[in-house]
Amino acid sequence: MKKRILIAKVGLDGHDRGAKVVARALKDAGYEVIYTGIRQSPEQVVETALQEDVDLIGLSCLSGAHIPLFKRVMELLKEYNLNIPVFCGGTIPPDDVPVLKKMGIAEVFGPGSSLKLIVEKVRKLLGEGEDNGGNT
């Protein structure tokens, strides 16, 4: 069965070019991708993750509100006892990367990250070996 990935836009930010491109690339890489659309509260994101029974969550934010918003998502996942790995992307200054990792976010993809790298890391996060190559 295909692994399921949720791509979520957290907060009020409407910039979803990156989120959509990543969603499409993951689809092309053989995953089932659910995209939330823009303007989701942390509560809505976790709710969707639960309902859709996803294996991985990708958060996107380009408004500079990533720290308080992603933090809330991580807290809620804990509250719900959901052990789903999380990665994120957006306009994230280098200084914030360790802060996000400390919250439990596994990977942070800043501007200019290649899709190849994102797909590679996603495979790892899903516990798929490098040479198991593709989920097709």
Provide the binding-site residues for other proteins, judged by CB under 8 A.
Answer: 11-17, 20-21, 23-25, 27, 33, 35-39, 41-42, 63-69, 72, 91-95, 110-112, 114-116
Q: Give least dist CB 100 to other proteins, A.
A: 13
> DSSP code of 40?
B
The answer to whether 35 touches 23, Cβ cutoff 8 Å, is yes
* Beta carbon of residue 29, minimum distance to other proteins (angstroms, whole number): 12
In this complex, which beta carbon is closest to other proteins, that of residue 67 or of residue 84? 67
Return the DSSP state at 1.
-
68 or 127: whose CB is closer to other proteins?
68
**17 versus 102: smaller Cβ distance to other proteins:** 17
> What b/e readout covers 3-13, taking b as 16+ CB neighbours within 10 angstroms?
bbbbbbbbbeb
- Are 114 and 103 in contact, with CB atoms under 8 Å apart? no
